[in-house]
Amino acid sequence: MNSLKENNQNQYQYQQLHQYQHKGQNRHQYQNEHQNQQQNQNKHHYTHQNQNQSQSQNKENLIVAHISEMFALELGFSTREARLIGKAAEYHDVGKACICPSIIMKPSALTPDEFEVMKMHTKFGAQMLANMRGELGVVARTVAEFHHEDCQATGYWKVPTSQLPSFLPLVSIVDTYIALRNRRPYKPS
Ligand SMILES: [Fe+2]
Ligand SMILES: [Fe+2]
């Protein structure tokens, strides 16, 4: 099966080369063209990986949003507030779109420099949501910027959750739970 494929490929490559030679073009040009084709194929593969990554990221955001809303209701927030928190939680990682996929999808631990870049998804997220109006805008920007903080001020920006709105730890807990439960490039689920 493989050798048939290889034969066909070789034949195809030979025909291309032959055509070029007929046109008076040299082998060097053919090799360049072949390299470009391979680069495009790699780019295509990479884009596919990115698409899969963003699809699973979107799915995960919806799950974080849904559980955050349920959790908020359980903790005594009103239905309107819980809906607002859930909707805002959906955008918590929107800033990851600004982070290089090689960092997002790195299958091993991040270097200190890469981690500094990764941290920026919170700031980028808040900036991306700058034009979101009303209460949702305020809550979504706060969630995006501070969803990696904790009560001991050991999070990304060392802000204790006691200084943040009460819905913040709620979304952080849900986000952490989902991150622990789901598969990541650097860990199984
Ligand atoms: Fe995040
Ligand atoms: Fe997240």
CB-based contact 187:106 (threshold 8 Å): no
Q: Any idea which residue has 């920026």 for tokens?
A: 120
In 3D, which of 101, 107, 97 has the Cα closest to residue 58? 97
Q: What tens digit of pLDDT does each residue of 39-88 get? A: 555 555 555 666 776 788 889 999 999 999 999 999 999 999 999 999 99
Distance from the CA of 75 to the center of ligand 1, in angstroms? 23
Q: Which ligand is nearest to the CA of 179?
A: 2
Residues with CB under 5 A from ligand 2 (ion): 93, 175
DSSP state, residue 70:
H
Q: Which ligand is nearest to the CA of 144?
A: 1
Q: CA angle at residue 82 from 143 to 141, to 5 degrees? A: 20
Distance from the CA of 39 to the center of ligand 2, in angstroms? 32
Exposed/middle/buried for residue 35 (C-beta within 10 Å: 0-12, 13-18, 19+)? exposed
Distance from the CA of 16 to the center of ligand 2, in angstroms? 48
Distance from the CA of 159 to the center of ligand 1, in angstroms? 15
**Entry field: residues in the chain:** 189
Mean pLDDT to the nearest integer, 119-127: 98
DSSP state, residue 95:
G
Residue 45 tokens read as 């593969």
> 29 pLDDT band (50/70/90 cuts)?
low
Q: Which is it for the CA torsion 81, 87, 90, 96, positive or negative? A: negative
Distance from the CA of 178 to the center of ligand 1, in angstroms? 11
> 21 pLDDT band (50/70/90 cuts)?
very low
3-class SS at 153?
coil
Q: How far apart are the first and last CA of the chain?
A: 35
Give me the phi and psi of 187, to 5 degrees please.
Answer: -155, 155
pLDDT at 183: 84
Q: How many CB atoms lie within 10 A of CB 59?
A: 11
| C-alpha to C-alpha distance for 176 and 69, rounded to whole angstroms | 15
Query: What is the chain's mean pLDDT, rounded?
Result: 83
pLDDT at 14: 41
Residue 110 tokens read as 């991040």
> 8 pLDDT band (50/70/90 cuts)?
very low
Distance from the CA of 122 to the center of ligand 1, in angstroms? 6
3-class SS at 134?
helix
Distance from the CA of 20 to the center of ligand 2, in angstroms? 52
In 3D, which of 161, 159, 182, 157 has the Cα closest to residue 170? 161
Distance from the CA of 167 to the center of ligand 1, in angstroms? 16
Distance from the CA of 37 to the center of ligand 1, in angstroms? 36
Q: Which domains does the chain have, with CATH numbers?
A: 2-181 (1.10.3210.10)
Distance from the CA of 24 to the center of ligand 1, in angstroms? 56
